[in-house]
Amino acid sequence: MKRKPSDISTVIIVNKNSEPKTLQIKTLHITRLRHYAATILSVIVILSGTIIYLRAVNDRKDAEEKQLQAQIVKLKGAVPAPVIADKKPANAQSYIQSIEGKLQKINDYLKKRGLKGFSTKAVGGSGNADDAKLTDDETYSLYNEYLDRLVHSVAFTPMGYPHISSLTSYFGYRSDPFNSAHAEFHPGIDFKGTKGDAARCTANGRVVFAGWYGGYGNCVRIAHMNNYETLYGHLSRISVKVGEEVTVGEKIGEVGSTGHSTGTHLHYEVRKDGRAINPISFLNLSK
């Protein structure tokens, strides 16, 4: 079938150094050239926007990770570093008293946050005749071993933020977001977020649940030392599985709005012996 003359357009290409050339193109393509250009421009704008968004998300995640790590570093900074043999203090008793003072300060911080303090009894010896024979190196060693155990215990106790953002709902009774005429008990706190933001565990532990959990939607529960457990609800994506060992600051899922939820956020709970307690006390050591 022959095309109509109007179906084909002739484009003349002029070059001052050579003879003009002609190129036949379907008229349909020429009439749609504006649409083609708009489509290409739209693709470029979308790709540029995606790159900018991904870069912003990456920068935000890096900032979250740095803040979480800074909390751990700050806590460890409150613990005296091991004594180097050639840099011992002149007064051993003064050094021990300094350690005991810092341990007491850590205990005070923990108790203000509803956590059980650490016993300092018998650290560096129980005070009997045999302990009096300990050398300075042996005494320092006992204290440093104790401090190592303390830091280890702190690492397994929920502390800090699972997601760095402002709070949108608090622990306790509130109006039911689905029925304002009724009140409900909210067993955790909610963090503002956008879908895909990282949700991170607040202490070392083991994943005991990862999946759909009724009104919590996609949910992760992590067991920690001393019968503590943390719960992360309404996730859009789960990044861990049951039985997996996780460390503080590790990503366990992504913020979402699954389950009984009115908008994108992270629901976070701290439980002790199976009972929900106010997570606010665990967000900052100074509280």
Contact 238, 248 (CB under 8 A): no
Query: What letter represents residue 135's amino acid?
Result: T
pLDDT in tens, 234-269: 999 999 999 999 998 899 999 999 999 889 999 999
Q: HEC string of the chain?
A: CCCCHHHEEEEEECCCCCCCEEEEEEHHHHHCHHHHHHHHHHHHHHHHHHHHHHHHHHHHHHHHHHHHHHHHHHHHHCCCCCCCHHHCCCCHHHHHHHHHHHHHHHHHHHHHCCCCCCCCCCCCCCCCHHHHCCCHHHHHHHHHHHHHHHHHHHHCCCCCCCCCCCEEECCEEEEECCEEEEEEEECCEEEECCCCCEEECCCCEEEEEEEECHHHCEEEEEECHHHEEEEEEEECEECCCCCCEECCCCEEEECECCCCCCCCEEEEEEEECCEEECHHHHCCCCC
Q: Can you give the pTM of this predicted structure? A: 0.55
Strands 167-169 and 21-26, by their bridges, are: unpaired
pLDDT on residue 235: 97
Q: Which CATH class is domain 167-282?
A: mainly beta
What are the residue ranges spanned by the domains of the chain?
78-155, 167-282
Confidence band of 102 (pLDDT split at 50, 70, 90)? confident
pLDDT on residue 210: 97
Mean pLDDT of 215-234: 94
Q: In 3-state terms, what secondary structure has residue 184?
A: strand
